[in-house]
Amino acid sequence: MGIPGSGLAKGLAVTLRTMTRRAHTAQYPDVQPELPPRTRGVIGLFEENCTVCMLCARECPDWCIYIDSHKETVPPAAPGGRERSRNVLDRFAIDFSLCMYCGICIEVCPFDALFWSPEFEYAETDIQDLVHERDKLREWMWTVPEPPALDPAAEEPKEIAAARKSAEKLKAQQEGEA
Ligand code: SF4
Ligand code: SF4
């Protein structure tokens, strides 16, 4: 049997110890939390980059990405060439009541059309409103943080090199015509 009152003494010791520690209470929503830059809040869609390849919808473990599209015929690039067909997006929606924020859709998108935004204040009273359609997904794009700056010694990204090359070519063409 222990000493009488030792339990009380232990309890008081715990109380005294915690009284001297700083409280970790989050004062949200009066004080906004400081979130790390790579926070997974909501997903933004950069529609112009989406080729409707369906990879994200197929890889999503929760099947909560809904995509509808139709095919459109594009005239040949050069006279005598063959007509081509391309996919046109009709619907792109993510059901955030099912999403588990795994990020697989963003990882697998080969065309950089999906991005994480740290925004998290989109709770709804009706669960159906958690299905964000393409317009809403596009709006989230405005809240996506800029990518971190490149290391000064890093190699120039191939997209920038290609864009610079075509701009220089276009400029040279225009100067030749003038
Ligand atoms: S984050 Fe994961 S669960 Fe959510 S839509 Fe993307 S792949 Fe699906
Ligand atoms: S993986 Fe990317 S490009 Fe393909 S359908 Fe999804 S968002 Fe569009």
CATH number for the domain harbouring residue 81:
3.30.70.3270
Q: What is the 3-state secondary structure (H, E, C) of 19-50?
A: HCCCCCCCCCCCCCCCCCCCCCCEEEECHHHC
pTM over 0.85: no
Instruction: Indicate whether residue 103 lines ligand 1 (CB < 6 A).
Output: yes
Mutation test residue for ligand 2: of 48, 86, 109, 116, the one with most atoms within 8 Å of CB? 109
Task: Please provide the distance, in angstroms rounded to a whole number, between the alpha carbons at the two ends of the chain.
Answer: 102
Q: Would the CA dihedral through 90, 95, 98, 101 be positive or negative?
A: positive
Q: Which ligand is nearest to the CA of 92?
A: 2
In a domain, 20, yes or no: no
Q: Are the C-beta atoms of residues 144 and 115 closer than 8 Å to each other?
A: yes
Strands 131-132, 84-95: parallel, antiparallel or unpaired by DSSP?
Answer: antiparallel
What is the identity of the amino acid at 73?
A: T
- Ligand 1, atom 2, lies closest to the CA of 102
Provide residues with CB under 6 Å of ligand 2.
Answer: 50-56, 67, 109, 111, 113-114
Over the chain (178 residues), what is each successive 10-residue block's mean pLDDT?
84 91 87 90 97 97 97 87 91 98 98 96 97 98 90 87 91 84
Kindly give the distance from the C-alpha atom of residue 162 to the centroid of ligand 2, in angstroms, as a whole number.
22
Q: Domain total for the chain?
A: 1
Residue 58's pLDDT is 98
Domain that holds residue 41: 27-148
Q: Kindly state the tokens that stand for 69.
A: 């599209």
